[in-house]
Amino acid sequence: ERQNRLQHEATLMRQLESIQRERSELQHHLTNAQERLEQSTAALETLNVTLGQCEEQVQETGHALEIMRVRLETEVDLRQRLEQEATEMRKLLKEIMTRLDNKP
């Protein structure tokens, strides 16, 4: 009976040691996972900042493009008016030349 009890205690000790080793390994894996999580979180925060900067640049570019679009529309309108005025001036010049040619 004493021998059985000693064997049982030895078995329990081996199981306890095995459980402690496994616990230690799991703790090590958990620590590694936490470190990777912290690194991933830091990388995500960096990406977030970078994306925020990119978003600002996109907004600034969009604003600049809108200004350029308005300027281009203004230039196109001005060119059309100038072309129309030039056409009217040519017409008037032609009329003046015709009148001058028809004078006795």
The Cα–Cα gap between 62 and 66 comes to 6
In a domain, 9, yes or no: yes
Residue at 89 is within a domain: no
26 domain residue, yes or no:
yes
The answer to whether residue 101 is domain-embedded is: no
d(Cα 79, Cα 89) in Å, to the nearest integer? Answer: 15
For the chain, give the mean pLDDT. 96
What pLDDT was estimated at residue 10?
96
User: What is the C-alpha separation between 11 and 64, in angstroms, rounded?
Assistant: 78
pLDDT attached to residue 76: 98
pLDDT reported for residue 102: 87
- CA–CA separation, 75 and 67 (whole Å): 12
Q: In this structure, is residue 97 part of a structural domain?
A: no
CA 70 to chain centre: 26
pLDDT tens per residue, range 15-74: 999 999 999 999 999 999 999 999 999 999 999 999 999 999 999 999 999 999 999 999
Question: Does 41 map to a domain?
Answer: yes
Residue 93 lies in a domain: no
pLDDT score recorded for residue 83 = 98
100 within some domain: no
Question: What total number of domains does the chain contain?
Answer: 1
Q: Which structural domain range is residue 36 located in?
A: 1-78
